[in-house]
Structure 1
């Protein structure tokens, strides 16, 4: 929106009060009619005397009046045209604001910016963080639903359940490691058919690949502990590990953890069973407590492997899985864009991983006294020093 002032009359002085007052009246009229400013009742707008009516006006006063007018015009131009409300994109996640905000601002919000959506301008991203406590999901889900979001991005499992217990029809983009944790929301990968679509970073082939990589680092690996969550098991990963168990010559120790307070005792049990490494399943609890898991693994000198690179960034040893940056920075924003443009989740296929990345934490390896083979380092997509 452009405000066009009348052409100055050359016969009048540059600071003629008639011109100044005309500009002031036009700006104030526009500002008072603008949707953002209609509620600004009682604001003390500049008085006539401020602009020089009925008395002399100093150069400083003129300068201040022009600054005020300029600021108002900038505000009018920056606000959404016609007072249209920006759509709300909800994010419900297990992480903490301290860990989550920088990652999501960089990749997810960055991906939306590439598609033309600017947070707090053309779209409003509302984050709700459970800070590792899945019991907070119902309250946080209700807060998001009350904001009337156009779409919510969340993990499947407990967070998806919390949303659906409040609202059955809000569009949801869920990212998931186990199709069972969509809770029947997905009719098929190619055509979900309901109000939920999403991204799965599950690849059964990758389960065996992780064990192979771990074996390159720990050639004598024979006992492997698995950190799982009893109320949200990663059943497909477990089934694949059981299938590979005899061919890989592994003894598996499944360690279910239901609450954050149980991790210390769980690692004590892992050490007693003489496990040489821990496979960290991508459950809500494990993701939310990834820094704690990495700390306990270093304390007990146990290597860790997982799907998610964020685990390695938090101090885990090794990850191999779907590219986090790909699905968070490209796929999720692309699906948000489609839903905002009217495409139904029912018609958006569940995206399966196409890019995988290997990430190694050398700092953790040194703390564990493990030498990472050159063959691993050469293949790694990222090495954290």
Structure 2
């Protein structure tokens, strides 16, 4: 059940071109390099890259005819990102698309001339002004710190018995996740809850944390954006079910995999929007002239099957607010 889309004037600007640029036609094969945070075999990789390519096709760019797209996958760590960036830049792409903070840093360090479009990066390096990003970088951000309080509120609505919430992330993988902690801590007393930060660095630590939380009555879990945890999302969802832990996730693929509830920006939609920026750059515009855009579409997904398995009765008003209910 899809009900809400948040559209802003700035978001609409992604598909508007000056007449002189619009008149240009893609009459030669251009090259796009793409660094993807997830592995090539991850189901979400196919969903995101398909959305990107479909976005380009709608704008007149046909893979194999007038555009070549070169992908490198599993780019989540600095060393891998640097190697992948160097590899792709040897192919002299007209524009680079990156979907992780590590990939963005690597490409920025490797080139100051090739345009860069980032997707799903919460705190883009080297971008001090969203309206005027400067340099060769622009793109689409994901979250802002106040989301921590919103996750807490939604978790309390769907699981009123929860009084202690663990915010789990890998502090060594990304500087982003801790940014959501203060807003959650500030909001916690309003909901009769307390929050604790729970660092993890390996899959074994994830299992240990989940087992410990499962033995503490009233426990709940928040999974914020993190460049480490998505590679273990199936394990996290399975452990949450095993220990009957109500959990809220930053991305909908957790809910699709059996997670209780997710709330966050539509990353797939951002890949479609990135196609519009790539199109504008290929037609002659400069990254410096394209403002960094904040999320315009958010998804609130409830997995009703999981809620029933946890013995939770989801309030009708919450079901009505959801963009999608998985039954």
Q: Same-fold call, TM > 0.5?
A: yes
Report 1:249-264 matches (<5 A).
249-264=192-207
1:213 aligns with 2:154: yes
CA 1:94/1:259 → structure 2, altered by over 3 Å: closer, same or farther? farther
Quick check: which one's helix share is greater? Answer: 1
1:109 aligns with 2:53: yes
Q: Paired residue for 2:116?
A: 172
State the TM-score, normalized to the length of structure 2: 0.82
Mapped partners of 1:261, 1:142: distance in 2: 33
> How many Å apart are 1:188 and its aligned residue?
0.3
The answer to whether the Cα contact below 8 Å between 1:309 and 1:324 also exists between their aligned partners in 2 is no
Q: Paired residue for 1:380?
A: 322
The answer to whether the Cα contact below 8 Å between 2:265 and 2:298 also exists between their aligned partners in 1 is yes
Q: Paired residue for 2:239?
A: 296
The answer to whether the Cα contact below 8 Å between 2:47 and 2:268 also exists between their aligned partners in 1 is no
Q: Paired residue for 1:354?
A: 296
Three-state SS of the structure 1 residue aligned to 2:140 is: strand
* Structure 1: 5+ residue stretches without partners: 1-79
1:140 aligns with 2:84: yes
Question: Relative contact order: is structure 1 or structure 2 higher (C-alpha 8 Å, sep ≥ 6)?
Answer: 2
Match among 230, 247, 255 for residue 171 of structure 2: 230
CA 1:190/1:277 → structure 2, altered by over 3 Å: closer, same or farther? same
> How many Å apart are 1:219 and its aligned residue?
1.0
The answer to whether the Cα contact below 8 Å between 2:36 and 2:73 also exists between their aligned partners in 1 is yes
Count of paired positions: 299
Three-state SS of the structure 2 residue aligned to 1:107 is: helix
> How many Å apart are 1:139 and its aligned residue?
2.8
Match among 69, 74, 79 for residue 125 of structure 1: 69
Mapped partners of 2:222, 2:326: distance in 1: 19
Three-state SS of the structure 2 residue aligned to 1:221 is: coil
1:149 aligns with 2:90: no
Q: Over the residues paired in the alignment, what is the CA RMSD in angstroms?
A: 2.5
Q: Paired residue for 2:258?
A: 315
CA 1:212/1:118 → structure 2, altered by over 3 Å: closer, same or farther? same
Q: Paired residue for 2:9?
A: none
Mapped partners of 1:281, 1:238: distance in 2: 9
Q: Paired residue for 1:70?
A: none
The answer to whether the Cα contact below 8 Å between 1:133 and 1:285 also exists between their aligned partners in 2 is no
1:190 aligns with 2:131: yes
> How many Å apart are 1:273 and its aligned residue?
5.2
Mapped partners of 1:325, 1:242: distance in 2: 30
CA offsets per residue over residues 242-273 of structure 1, 9 Å max, x none? 22233333221211223445322332343355
CA 1:220/1:346 → structure 2, altered by over 3 Å: closer, same or farther? same
Q: Paired residue for 1:202?
A: 143
CA offsets per residue over residues 273-327 of structure 1, 9 Å max, x none? 5562211111111223222221221122212212222222232221122233432
> How many Å apart are 1:135 and its aligned residue?
5.3
The answer to whether the Cα contact below 8 Å between 1:94 and 1:287 also exists between their aligned partners in 2 is no
> How many Å apart are 1:191 and its aligned residue?
0.5
> How many Å apart are 1:103 and its aligned residue?
0.4
Mapped partners of 1:151, 1:275: distance in 2: 49
* Structure 2: 5+ residue stretches without partners: 1-25
Mapped partners of 2:94, 2:258: distance in 1: 36
> How many Å apart are 1:200 and its aligned residue?
1.4
The answer to whether the Cα contact below 8 Å between 2:76 and 2:102 also exists between their aligned partners in 1 is no
Q: Paired residue for 2:6?
A: none
> How many Å apart are 1:158 and its aligned residue?
1.9
Q: Paired residue for 1:344?
A: 286
Mapped partners of 1:375, 1:305: distance in 2: 18
Three-state SS of the structure 1 residue aligned to 2:110 is: coil
Three-state SS of the structure 2 residue aligned to 1:284 is: coil
CA offsets per residue over residues 181-232 of structure 1, 9 Å max, x none? x23x102011001121121121444433322221111112211111222131
CA 1:257/1:144 → structure 2, altered by over 3 Å: closer, same or farther? farther
Q: Paired residue for 1:30?
A: none
The answer to whether the Cα contact below 8 Å between 1:260 and 1:285 also exists between their aligned partners in 2 is no
Three-state SS of the structure 2 residue aligned to 1:202 is: coil
